[in-house]
Amino acid sequence: MYLMSKVFLTGVSPLNIALPAGIPYGSLTLLLGPGGVGKSVMLANLSWDFLKDSRNAVVHVTFDDSPDALLALYAYFGWDISRYVAEGRFKIVDCFSFRLGPFKKSVSGVVRELEVRDLSSLVYAVSDASSPTRGSTMVLIDSLNELILKFEVSQFLDFIKSLRAVVSKGLGNIVIATIHTTTETFQEVVNYLEYLVDGVIETRFNPSFLEYGIPLKELLVRKMRGVPTNPVWIPYVISNDGIAAVDPQKLAMVLQEKIREAEKLKKLLSGSED
């Protein structure tokens, strides 16, 4: 039995399958996976849907790229957020540009530039930027990897606890943070984090399809407190419109063709060995 709270029903079809009731407000969710699976695109897609409610706001904390690169990502998919920036409903906490020195650009939407030397300053900056609006705020952090490398594990875990307590629970916001699980170090930290957070969404390339040269992206909601989930691997693609579900018939056709190509290659290789 689930104690249903206020939820956000996303416009991302694979997530709708995995989370039929939506993402709860007042939750902190980790979005995990290797590079290239579209985690940043998924964050942008979720925030674009969230901003369609005129009462809502988005705070994007960027570590991995510059604010202008972030805005370019939205523009690539035809998501014009300039109006939301002008309305003060799309805000960027820039934790990247301090590195750029004289090459730093002035970008609309940046409400705070921060070099994170202590984690309490980041909690303050995020909570200040996501203070209550007419509606609710979605806070996106892309990614946590820099903090994992920079701070002791105990400090980082305390930061996650504070972020969840103040920004998620205290302010009632949806917080989603990415972690690139590229090394064992990051995976070990994820193991510590799982019991501290409300939700865990894992992404991957299907290992069986990779054998045939098909980089099929999949997501799995491993946990989400307060709402029902469908805990199965769900395939998705990055289309011109963002994250979309996979057409099973097209996928079957591609797989059949790749299998035929693999069989031909095996015959050629076996012939050359003779």
CATH code of the domain in which 47 resides: 3.40.50.300
Is 206 inside a domain boundary?
yes
Is 274 inside a domain boundary?
no
Is 20 inside a domain boundary?
yes
Q: Is 52 exposed, middle or buried (0-12, 13-18, 19+ CB in 10 A)?
A: exposed
Is 257 inside a domain boundary?
no
Which tokens go with 144?
């946590």
- Per run of 10 residues, the mean pLDDT along the chain (length 274 residues) is 72 94 96 95 97 94 96 96 95 95 89 95 94 84 95 95 96 96 84 93 92 88 95 93 86 76 74 60
Place of tokens 């980082």: 156
For the chain, give the percent of residues with pLDDT over 70.
96
CA distance 18 to 188: 25
For position 159, what pLDDT does the model report? 97
Q: Per residue in 29-61, pLDDT tens? A: 999 999 999 999 999 999 999 999 999 999 999
Which tokens go with 189?
């930290």
Q: Which structural domain, as residue segments, surrounds residue 162?
A: 7-246
Which tokens go with 269?
């290789």
Name the domain count of the chain.
1
Is 26 inside a domain boundary?
yes
The one-letter amino acid at 264: K
The one-letter amino acid at 109: G
- With 0.85 as the threshold, say if the pTM is over it: yes
The one-letter amino acid at 59: V
Is 58 inside a domain boundary?
yes
Is 271 inside a domain boundary?
no
DSSP secondary structure string for all residues of the chain:
------EE--S-HHHHHH-TT-EETTEEEEEEE-TTS-HHHHHHHHHHHHTTSTT-EEEEEESSS-HHHHHHHHHHTT---HHHHHTT-EEEEESSGGGTGGG----TTEEEE---SSHHHHHHHHHHHT---SS-EEEEEE-SHHHHHHS-HHHHHHHHHHHIIIIIIIT--EEEEEEE--SHHHHHHHHHHTTTSSEEEEEEE-HHHHTTT---EEEEEEEETTS----S-EEEEEETTEEEE--HHHHHHHHHHHHHHHHHHHHHHHHHH-
For position 1, what pLDDT does the model report? 42
Is 209 inside a domain boundary?
yes
